[in-house]
Amino acid sequence: MCESLKLNNETNQLQIKGLSIVNGCQSLTTILACSEKAKAAKDAHVLFRFYEIPQRDIADKISINTNSQSAVKPRDLRSNDKRVLALKRVYESMYRNGYLITKRGEERPADRDESHTIDIALLAKWLMTWHCQRPNIAYNENRIFDKYFEQIFRADYSPTDMLALKQWAAKIETRWNNNSLKFNDALLAVPSYSKFHLLFAIQTCFCAVSEQLDKVPLPAATNSALAQADTVITIAASCYNSALKMAVTEYQSEGKIFSPQNWLKAKDSVSKVQGSVDIYLGMLDELPGGTQLRQVLTIPADKFTLRWSAD
């Protein structure tokens, strides 16, 4: 900004009075860092713009809008946290072809395998869904990296568990993309919620069959079930649909207006998914192939841990 700006007709140069810079710290520090090289250059220029506007309110609006940059998010602030860096180090040490993306906009190196590449933002949502059993919170990335960061990011978290979560999420993504989940339209309309609720329903299948509904299975302990992932996902999707139907019926009986999106943000969606899975798998032995599926979904008690708090 400047107090006045006028052209000197004799020298054909601009005369600026009261110059001040409103926003431009990065640009100025870069110019300063390159100043010595710039002095040696024969033809160096700095591009700038001036607006000559008498109305102060309009000038303020232009200043604000032309200087609005990408907001710094909690994820950006946490990208160099010691716990995140420790997870990156241990994961990439175990999986040489793997890569943990910790910064927004970061690309996977060409020599790393996509199937072993994990975005820290997705990992945070999977951890919230699986270990905290709160898929109703998982959609909110800013909240996870702010309020819940301490609870879900643990430097000693196993790389095998990280990869297992990635593999289940990839199986869900494949089924979602080929439209084979047969979801209720209301659930298909909100993928940012439904994919995590479905992952939670998958986890609950192992808990229900293993009679450990008050605990959480280690993701890597479910790897053997990946060979029958389609069957497990189909069951989980059916239970998820049933949970929605139960909620709609309950709301209607109470004369309330049902909003799928609001329901998915509430703990009621979590409890109803758990209840639906428990009821469905309680009849597992009566279903075709149920006995074999029970063997796939049963995990030893020592492969379960307590739920991480996120309340």
- Report the candidate in 169, 175, 171, 167 with the shortest Cα–Cα distance to residue 113: 167
Asked whether residue 18 carries a pLDDT value surpassing 70, the answer given is no
Distance CA 231, CA 267 (A): 26
Among 66, 93, 119, the domain-final residue is 66
Number of domains into which the chain is organized: 2
Task: State the Rg of the chain over Cα.
Answer: 27
The answer to whether 88 and 100 have CB atoms below 8 angstroms apart is yes
What are the pLDDT digits (tens) for 209-258?
A: 999 999 999 999 999 999 999 999 999 999 999 999 999 999 999 999 99
User: pLDDT at position 105, please?
Assistant: 87
Judge whether 89 lies within some domain.
no
Judge whether 85 lies within some domain.
no
Determine which helix (DSSP H) or strand (DSSP E) holds 61, and give its type and residue range.
Answer: helix 56-66
The answer to whether 231 and 293 have CB atoms below 8 angstroms apart is yes
DSSP secondary structure letter of residue 222: G
Percent of the chain with pLDDT over 90: 66
Distance CA 133, CA 127 (A): 8
Average pLDDT, the chain: 87
First to last CA, the chain: 48
The phi and psi torsions of 137 (rounded to 5 degrees) equal -105, -20
Among 16, 34, 66, the domain-final residue is 66
Count Cβ atoms below 10 Å from residue 289 Cβ, excluding itself: 11
Amino acid residing at 85: L
Distance CA 281, CA 284 (A): 5
Asked whether residue 207 carries a pLDDT value surpassing 80, the answer given is yes
The whole domain housing 219 covers 129-306
Asked whether residue 21 carries a pLDDT value surpassing 90, the answer given is no
Among 38, 66, 94, the domain-final residue is 66
The phi and psi torsions of 304 (rounded to 5 degrees) equal -110, 150
Distance CA 15, CA 5 (A): 6
Judge whether 36 lies within some domain.
yes
What are the pLDDT digits (tens) for 76-116?
A: 888 889 999 999 999 999 999 999 999 988 999 999 999 99
What are the pLDDT digits (tens) for 149-183?
A: 999 999 999 999 999 999 999 999 999 999 899 88
The confidence band for 70, taking pLDDT boundaries of 50, 70 and 90, is: low
Judge whether 82 lies within some domain.
no
The confidence band for 72, taking pLDDT boundaries of 50, 70 and 90, is: confident
Exposed/middle/buried for residue 108 (C-beta within 10 Å: 0-12, 13-18, 19+): middle
The confidence band for 41, taking pLDDT boundaries of 50, 70 and 90, is: confident
User: pLDDT at position 281, please?
Assistant: 92
Could you give the 3-state DSSP secondary structure of residue 109? coil
Judge whether 204 lies within some domain.
yes
pTM over 0.75, yes/no: yes
